[in-house]
Amino acid sequence: MTTYRDAVRTALQTLLREDKRAFLMGEDVGRYGGPYAVSKGLLEEFGEERVRDTPLCESTFVGAGIGAALGGMRPIVEVMTVNFSLLALDQVVNNAAVMRYMSGGQFQVPIVVRMATGGGKQIAAQHSHSLENWYAHIPGIKVLAPATVQDAHDMLLAAVEDPDPVFVFEHQMLYGIDGELDTTATPPSPWKALVRRSGTDVSLIAYGGSMHKALGAAEELGKGGISAEVVDLRSLRPLDRGTLLDSVRRTHRAVVIDEAWKTGSLASEISAILAEDAFYDLDAPIERVCTLEVPMPYAKHLEEAAIPQVDRIVDAAKRSMGGD
């Protein structure tokens, strides 16, 4: 068994060993070993040139990553968390996303930006954001949210291989989970959603940290005789409409779970897709389980109440089935 953290590190090691153009930079990725211990040992193996501790200047080190990518390198930039990535949004939106298009296809930005996301650790309103949908809104970049140990490894390799800017969101509660890692198997396309558990009564659509809660909810629902299917989105841009629609056309019910705030969320986007293309297949209104519309509270019981949990997903699925 391997942890999610170790899976990301294994992928980084492979990349740094096999691609001379690849290098890692970010705050505390070197001496400290990574704020989530992801890059522990990499400085010792690859040296300061390729494992670069940056000053605290998100905008400029992300921009420098964009410049290095323009210059033919394959930078892997770690922005400690999505919360700090807001300082670099200009570089993402105005440079990384548009350079290929604005230059008429002359330049490309093969940068990978990794960051931790999500709440659940009682670190309150400035350190618990889930803003993946802000990134998924932007044409010109791609967004991945690995939920499993295998995906944490495979998606990073795929991201670095990709010629476009790819943003990888690692939910902070997942770094410690265990799972099987097979580094020899051919991975499924990172841009496709996957059915993680098959079911016939209701589709639970989730990604990242929430995917595991959806699996927990499916387990619970199964005890009560409800067969829930769990769809892991995996790629948030592009969104795999086909797999989503296929699942809902079979189950006729959808619960969308998203740790972002409901207003303007990916859950909203998925609901709209289902309404557009599967309206007549639905037997019940779409349910959305999202974070309550408050800044993230510190107190444990309040934070748990704010974030989607198994019981809320179970309740939503039951509502969708016509019960209470």
Partner 1 sequence: MDISRDHALELLRDMIRIRRLEEKSAELYSKQKIRGFLHLYIGEEAVGVGAMHALREDDNIVATYREHGQALVRGIPAAQIMAEMYGKANGCSGGRGGSMHLFSAERNFYGGHAIVGGGLPIAVGLALADKMKGQSRVTACFFGDGATDEGEFHESLNLAALWQLPVLFLCENNEYAMGTALWRHVSDRNIANNPPAYGVPADSVNGMDVVAVERAVHNEAELVRETSKPRFLELKTYRFRAHSMYDAELYRSKEEVDEHKKDDPIEGFQKRLLKEGLVEQSDIDTIEDAAAKEIADAVEFAEQGEWEPIEDITRHTYARNLS
Catalytic residues: 58, 127
Residue 156: both structure tokens together: 């990073």
Query: Rule CB under 8 A: which of 181-240 touch partner 1?
Result: 191, 238
* The one among 13, 14, 108, 122 contacting partner 1 by CB under 8 A: 108
Which of 54, 247 has the CB closer to partner 1?
A: 54
* The one among 26, 140, 208, 308 contacting partner 1 by CB under 8 A: 140
Residue 297: both structure tokens together: 């509270």
Question: Residues near 68 by Cβ (< 8 Å), separated by ≥ 6?
Answer: 23, 75, 111
Which stretch, 87-95, 126-134, 146-154, 171-179, contacts partner 1 (CB under 8 A)?
87-95
Give me the 148-187 binding string for partner 1, x by CB under 8 A, dash otherwise.
--------------xxx-----------------------
Is 63 an interacting residue with respect to partner 1 (CB under 8 A)? Answer: yes
| Alpha helical stretches, state H, 144-195 | 149-161
Is 142 an interacting residue with respect to partner 1 (CB under 8 A)? Answer: yes
Helices and strands (H and E) in the chain: how many: 13, 14
Which stretch, 64-72, 112-120, 147-155, 207-215, contacts partner 1 (CB under 8 A)?
64-72
Displacement of CA 242 from its chain's centroid (Å) = 19
- Asked if 2 and 149 count as a contact pair (C-beta separation under 8 A), the reply is yes
Query: Rule CB under 8 A: which of 18-47 touch partner 1?
Result: 23
Is 75 an interacting residue with respect to partner 1 (CB under 8 A)? Answer: yes
Distance between CA atoms of residues 139 and 98, nearest Å? 8
Distance between CA atoms of residues 169 and 132, nearest Å? 7
The pairing of beta strand 22-26 with beta strand 51-53: parallel
Distance between CA atoms of residues 269 and 272, nearest Å? 5
Q: Per the omega criterion (within 30 degrees of 0), is the bond before 238 cis? A: yes
Is 139 an interacting residue with respect to partner 1 (CB under 8 A)? Answer: yes
The candidate with the shortest Cα–Cα distance to 268, out of 292, 293, 286, 241, is 286
Total Cβ atoms within 10 A of residue 91: 23
* The one among 41, 102, 176, 275 contacting partner 1 by CB under 8 A: 102
Give me the 244-283 binding string for partner 1, x by CB under 8 A, dash otherwise.
----------------------------------------
Which of 64, 248 has the CB closer to partner 1?
A: 64
Is 70 an interacting residue with respect to partner 1 (CB under 8 A)? Answer: yes
Beta bridge partners of 231: 195, 205
Is 90 an interacting residue with respect to partner 1 (CB under 8 A)? Answer: yes
Count interface residues toward partner 1 (CB under 8 A).
Answer: 44
Residues lying near partner 1 in the complex (CB under 8 A): 23, 49, 52, 54-55, 57, 59-73, 75, 90-91, 94-95, 99-108, 139-140, 142, 162-164, 191, 238
